[in-house]
Amino acid sequence: MLFFLSLITTSAFAMQIQQEETGDFSRNTMEVIGLEKPIVSDEYMLMPGDKILVTITGTKNYSYESVITYEGKVTINMPVASFPTAQVQGVYIPEYDIVDAVSIYGLNLNSAKDSLRRVFLKYYKNVDVNITLIEMRIFSVFVVGEIKEPGIVQAWPVDRVSEVVKRAGGVSTFGSYTQVELRRNGKLYRIVNLEEFDRSGDTAVNPTVQNGDIIYVPRMKKSVIVRGAVFGKRDYELRVAELTASRERTSEGLYELGEGERVSDLITKAGGITPWADLENTYVLRGDKKINTDLTKILADENCPENVLLKDGDIVVIPSMNALVYVQGRVVNPGSFPFQPHLRASDYIGLAGGPENDANMHGAYVQRGKKRISVRKDPIIEQGDRIFVPRQVFKFWQDYVKVGSFLVTLLLSYRTLTRK
């Protein structure tokens, strides 16, 4: 029996080393375990597959590593001899005999330490025993339902439901984030609200998993589409405006609708509004009906009538604001042009075809609200600015030529009439 336990322990070590060297784990296994906090000895329960370091101190001092067997036991190893390594002379490796095996299945680290100490006191007097967890077990969790890659996912004891779902590709388009079922030992153990965890970070609503758990993601019962100038937590695209390299992120995603949720709740779920959102012209499509909402009022008071109570199938639309700059006056093609960050007044005048021959560039200015800014220093233009290029009142010799030509024409006409 002891030989069989030794064989299991050695085989487990060999398999683990082979997996680490070749990366031969099943899909979706993390390479590095991310701990939220250090393992607490009174909380961590030992199970088959855990790897521990057993340290004996006192009248006898040595340590050894052991993997908890499939029966939940750890071996009692005792040194019997030492021999030098072939590579490095003078370095001795102790040789152990396995003399016993103790069940520590389901015990925390402190309780397991006490159990091992009682066993070692049968062989040695005045010794103390310590246990250190050096590697956590890996086990399987089944993830099914509305999931992108349903199947078996490997996990560690510190993994929470959200992490395992992520390794399975995440919740599908139509899956529920609020009604995820964690099933344990054939029964419903907990309803997990992943949406609440994403919003608050409260780990109490996102429990850790155990070996053999089943995570079932049901289909959402009610949903709303949020479309437009929101940051988005589902899908998004970059829209490129005409005549400019400026990019605007627009999103369209399907979000679960909870009981009593309104426009503001769904916009929060969609990641919030972007800086270019047209707050005053948001609306809700409900079948053939368009319900106008005003986000400026909703942001000021969530209890206002504009914060509409949503229904299954509604579409919340947040349009993008038209970011324009206006060029007027004596330019070739006056009109409105898409705003581009960091461009100057001369750039927009160029987009308008440049100044005409009679343009007074020294008198050109930018109208920014009630403020008038001279174009002489070529200022950087902001969204909504109006650039005005006036006509010259007097234009040196060209105007003289025009006036002189007109007077000569009048004089010749007068003489012709008087001769008759």
Q: What confidence tens digit (pLDDT) does each residue in 375-393 have? A: 999 999 987 889 999 998 7
Tell me the pLDDT tens digit for each residue of 46-85: 999 999 999 999 999 999 999 999 999 999 999 876 555 5
Domains of the chain (ranges, CATH numbers):
2-135 (no CATH), 139-217 (3.10.560.10), 223-318 (3.10.560.10), 324-389 (3.10.560.10)
Burial code (b: 16+ CB inside 10 Å, e: under 16) for 244-262 equals eeeebebbbbebbbbeebb
| Average of per-residue pLDDT across 309-323 | 88
Share of the chain above pLDDT 70, in %: 78
Check pLDDT > 70 for residue 132.
yes
Higher per-residue pLDDT: 32 or 137: 137
- Predicted pLDDT of residue 395: 54
The per-residue pLDDT for 320 is 79
Higher-scoring residue by pLDDT: 28, 386:
386
* pLDDT tens-place string over residues 333-354: 999 887 777 899 999 999 999 9
Question: In this predicted structure, what is the pLDDT of residue 22?
Answer: 43
Residues in the chain: 420
- Please give the average per-residue pLDDT across 119-136, as a whole number: 93
pLDDT at 24 over 60: no
Can you tell me the distance from the alpha carbon of 320 to that of 306, in angstroms, rounded to the nearest whole number?
19
Question: What's the pLDDT score for residue 84?
Answer: 58
Residues 284, 262 contacting (CB under 8 angstroms): no
Mean pLDDT within 313-317 = 95
pLDDT (tens digit per residue) in 232-278 = 876 544 444 443 334 455 678 899 999 999 999 999 999 899 877 88
Give CA torsion, residues 302, 231, 181, 203, to 10 deg: -80
pLDDT at 27 over 60: no
Task: Give the pLDDT score at 3.
Answer: 37
